[in-house]
Amino acid sequence: MSEPLAIHARGLTRRFGALTAVDRVELSIPPARIYGFLGPNGSGKTTTIRMLCGLLTPSEGEAEVLGHRVPDDAERLRLEIGYMTQLFSLYGDLTIRENLEFVGEIYGLATARRRRRIEELLEIYRLGDRAGQRADTLSGGQRQRLALAAAVIHEPRLLFLDEPTSAVDPQSRRDFWESLFQLVEGGTTILVSTHYMDEAERCHGLGILDQGRLVAEGAPRELMQGIDATVIEVETEALRAARAVLDRIAEVLSVAQLGTRLHALVDPTWDDAEGRVRAAFAAADVSASVEITRASLEDVFVAATLPSRREAAA
Amino acid sequence: MKSIRRILAVVRKEGLQLRRDRLTFGMVFGLPIIQLLLFGYAINQDVRGLRTGVADLAGTQRSRVLIADAEASQVVTVVRRAGSAEELETLLRRGEIAVGLFLPHDFERRIAQGGRPAAHLLVDGSDPIVLAAAQRLAELPIPRDGVPRESAVGAPRFELRAYYNPERRSAVQVVPGLIGVILTMTMTLFTAVAIVRERERGNLEMLITTPVRTPELMVGKILPYMAIGMVQVTLVLVLGSLLFDVPVRGTLADVYGAGLIFVTATLGLGLLISTVAQTQFQAFQLTFFTFLPQILLSGFMFPFDGMPQPARWLAEVFPLTHFVRIIRGIMLRGAGLPEVSRDVWPLLIFFAASMTLATLRFRKRLD
């Protein structure tokens, strides 16, 4: 391995009382990549990010971030990372420029460089015409651009983004991701958490977190190709009846409705799944077209988080 | 160098926020003004015009002179006439009068014989200040035969004035201590809320991922409020001088020096509260929890010498106790800071201890 890893975590675990929020997570994230954490609320995304920033002490395991041990070496790491929190954490009663000035000074940027950098950021993140406006009067998208600008003002090598687009409209989300790719082109490594599939698909590498465990990991395309299930798509007029048939088959792991179609995940060891499902429909006198299809990222997510949901149901 | 830059960044940010926070900004000026007017005018411990009932069963010239003397002292105002001691007691119980003056049938004979007290003073003892005022009334000499009327009346008037009269006196005593009370209230509250507010609004999570160090953050938060403290000192001094003619017998430099030392101690306490409280509401509660004993035990409201020993020990811990002594010494007795150093070093110790504790308690972690 020639390139040193941006983030390397072994057996990272964090417990809050009886709850294990993060459970033996292993991470090897190369530099200049966007790595995504995909997972539902409470899956341990934020806790993992906080441990990697040095804000939380791991209960067990260890992590190196940009070659620094966390949390012991966190103070030195702070100059090299940027962290955009899930909730807006800049000052609502300061203007855009004042917020950037403050963060720039805190990071010790010399006056000339700070001025230049702030102008640059106002330009890149299209905040120039609102520089004098107070942050709490901004829209969700503007506020998020300001938060990103503040997080990268000191040109960090590594950027943590905790659900950065949760309060933002789709167009702003697209723009936001464009700016993330620009940062990566400049050599920045980005770790982003999300629960949007379309965002997860844009990442170079993806880790699916469920109840604190890393249940699947890889590039989105790999994950979709290597899914541990057969995906069957059913098109029918009698959706409810078809669904009832599928629910009765033990080998069908999960069914989801997508418009007028049903999407079923089927046990991959079940031979000729397509044929057997067709037979089941015929037996139940339900007319439907059945075919095997490519897995989407959502299928990957559902398949990866199935075991824990089975446990919860049992 | 970078450290100073970061401190200044926090200072500037706090200043900007403070300027935009109308409520807090109003408190900076409103609180001293309101308190000064309250304590200067309304809460006046010079008691006068106590509602008084008189039962004059003697009805002699001498008894009438005594009543007139009592009224002339301005401590009492006769509002009721009664026919018996029982009637006075009833009035007292109903709260219609605060003082009853009873002159018995044998008033003249008692004076002639000496021995037994000639007159009775019935006092509503439930108010200590009223009681104290009435006790002085009891010291009124009774006019004697053969003594010229002028001197008989003149003597008690003179005595009452010496201890009591000028309304200035109360304000002069109160205003210096009031500087301490106002600073305690505002400074503790502002800093107590300072860090908690950042935590509540989520700013802290951003702040602790930056390279800013804990002492830098603490100092940066304290400095703007020190400046505000000095503004408040000035406000009280100017208003105290204009409205109540309160003197500054020591030097102004000593007054500000003492103020600055006291403000740092108070801010330390505020920051400590800030690291303990989880919400702004808790910060408020804790501030008032520390404020009340300070104001009661510091000697600002009640004489320190009248307190039981444990209360005095406790009071010695409070910054306000020491500041009240220092500032009275400087402003009223013309003392210099070195002369009151006995009360200066406890403030410095308090500041050092509270800042250290606050810095230790504040973690740049979320654990």
How far does B295 lie from chain A, in Å, by closest CA?
34
From chain B, pick out residues whose CB is under 8 angstroms from the CB of A103: 210
Q: Which of residues 88-107 of A touch B (CB under 8 A)?
A: 88-94, 98, 101-103, 105-107
Length in residues, chain A: 314
CA distance B188 to chain A (A): 22
Q: Which two tokens stand for residue A129?
A: 């015409």
CA-nearest of B76, B295, B88, B67 to B181 is B295
Distance from the Cα of A51 to chain B's closest Cα (Å) equals: 10
Among B10, B212, B365, beta carbon nearest to A71: B365
| Nearest chain B CA: its distance from A177 CA (Å) | 21
Nearest-Cα distance to chain A for B322, in Å, is 37
Q: How far apart are CA A121 and CA A117, in angstroms?
A: 6
Q: Do B17 and A92 touch (CB under 8 A)?
A: no
Subunit contact B203:A91, Cβ cutoff 8 A: yes
Residue B158, pLDDT score: 24
Which residue has tokens 């409810």? A240
Residues A132-154: tens digit of each pLDDT: 999 999 998 999 999 999 999 99
pLDDT, tens only, B37-69: 887 776 655 667 788 899 998 888 888 888 888
Q: For residue A282, what are the contacts with CB-CB under 8 A and spacing of at least 6?
A: none
- For β-strands A81-84 and A158-162, DSSP reports them as parallel
Question: Would an 8 Å CB–CB cutoff place B2 in contact with chain A?
Answer: yes
**Structure confidence at residue B169 (pLDDT):** 53
What average pLDDT score do residues A86-114 get? 94
> What are the two backbone dihedrals, phi and then psi, of residue A110, each rounded to the nearest 5 degrees?
-65, 150
- For residue B205, list chain A residues with Cβ-Cβ distance below 8 A: 55, 85, 89
CA distances from A22 to A215, B108, B144, B344, B355 (A): 12, 96, 96, 52, 35
Which among A89, A92, A150 has CB closest to B205?
A89
Instruction: Say if B23 is an interface residue toward chain A (CB within 8 Å).
Output: no
User: How far is the alpha carbon of B366 from chain A, nearest alpha carbon, in Å?
Assistant: 6
Are β-strands A189-194 and A158-162 bridged in parallel, bridged antiparallel, or unpaired? parallel
What B156-163 contacts at long range (C-beta under 8 Å, 24+ apart), as own/partner pairs, is B156/B69, B156/B73, B157/B69, B157/B72, B157/B73, B160/B73, B160/B75, B160/B136, B163/B136
Contact B202 A88 (CB under 8 A): yes
pLDDT in tens, B225-279: 999 999 999 999 999 888 888 888 889 999 999 999 999 999 999 999 998 898 9
- Evaluate if residue A183 carries a pLDDT over 80: yes
Q: Does B19 touch chain A (CB under 8 A)?
A: no
DSSP tag of A264: E
pLDDT in tens, A239-295: 899 999 999 998 999 998 888 889 999 998 988 999 999 999 999 998 999 999 999
DSSP strand pairing (B99-103 vs B50-56): parallel
B81 strand-pairing partners: B54
Distance from CA of B2 to the nearest CA of A (A): 6
The pLDDT score that the predictor gives to residue B154 is 32
Chain A residues whose CB is inside 8 A of the B362 CB are: none
Sign of CA dihedral A101, A105, A109, A111: positive
Longest dimension (CA), chain B: 91
Helix (H) or strand (E) holding A235: strand A230-236
| Separation CA B3–CA B70 (nearest Å) | 69
User: Which of B14, B198, B201, B206 is the best mutation test for A, with the most CBs of A within 10 A?
Assistant: B206
Residue position matching structure tokens 């654990």 = B367
CB-based contact A71 B366, cutoff 8 Å: no
Of B12, B209, B364, the CB nearest to A83: B209
**CA-to-CA separations, B241 to A126, B30, B249, B331, in angstroms, rounded:** 55, 18, 12, 11
Query: What pLDDT sits at residue B168?
Result: 40
Cα B186 to Cα B192: distance, rounded to the nearest angstrom: 10
CA-based nearest distance A53→chain B, Å: 7
In B, minimum Cα distance to A54 occurs at: B365
Q: Do B203 and A90 touch (CB under 8 A)?
A: yes
Q: Residue B211 and residue A94: Cβ atoms within 8 Å?
A: no
Q: What is the pLDDT of residue A44?
A: 93
Q: What does pLDDT average to in each consecutive run of 10 residues of chain B (367 residues)?
A: 89 91 84 82 67 88 84 83 87 80 84 73 68 68 50 31 36 82 91 88 89 90 92 92 85 95 94 90 91 88 78 92 91 86 94 92 77
Calculate what percentage of chain A has a pLDDT beyond 70: 99
Phi then psi dihedrals of residue A262, to 5 deg? -115, 140
Q: Is A232 helix (H, G, I), strand (E, B) or coil?
A: strand
- Cβ–Cβ contacts within 10 Å for residue A4, how many? 11
Q: What is the pLDDT of residue A172?
A: 87
Residue among B9, B17, B202 whose CB faces A85 most closely: B202
Distance CA B9, CA B3 (A): 10
Question: Which positions in chain A touch B2 (Cβ < 8 Å)?
Answer: 108
Q: Which of A79, A85, A105 sits opposite B206 (nearest CB)?
A: A85
**Pick from B6, B10, B209: CB nearest A55:** B209
Dihedral (CA of B312, B315, B321, B326) sign: positive
Q: Which residues contact B228 (CB under 8 A, 6 or more apart)?
A: B18, B28, B186, B187, B190
CA distance B211 to chain A (A): 6
How many angstroms separate the CA atoms of B294 and A74, rounded? 41
Q: Looking at chain B from residue 153 to 212, which residues have their Cβ under 8 Å from any Cβ of chain A? A: 201-212
Sequence length of chain B is 367
Residues from chain B contacting residue A89 (CB–CB below 8 Å): 201-207
Q: What is the pLDDT of residue B238?
A: 93
DSSP B8-19: HHHHHHHHHHHH
Tell me if the bond preceding B32 is cis, omega within 30° of 0.
Answer: no
* Mutation target vs A (from B2, B5, B11, B20; most A CBs, 10 A cutoff): B5
Phi first, then psi: give them for residue A252, nearest 5 degrees: -80, 120
Question: What are the residues facing A209 on neighbouring strands?
Answer: A214
Nearest CB to A94 within list B16, B209, B210: B16
Residue B5 contacts A where some CB pair is shorter than 8 Å: yes
Q: Indicate yes or no: CB of B203 within 8 angstroms of CB of A94.
A: no
Inspect the interface and report whether the beta carbons of A91 and B205 lie closer than 8 Å.
no
Task: Find the DSSP H helices in chain B.
Answer: 2-20, 22-37, 61-72, 85-94, 107-113, 128-138, 149-163, 168-200, 203-207, 214-244, 252-276, 280-297, 309-317, 319-333, 341-361
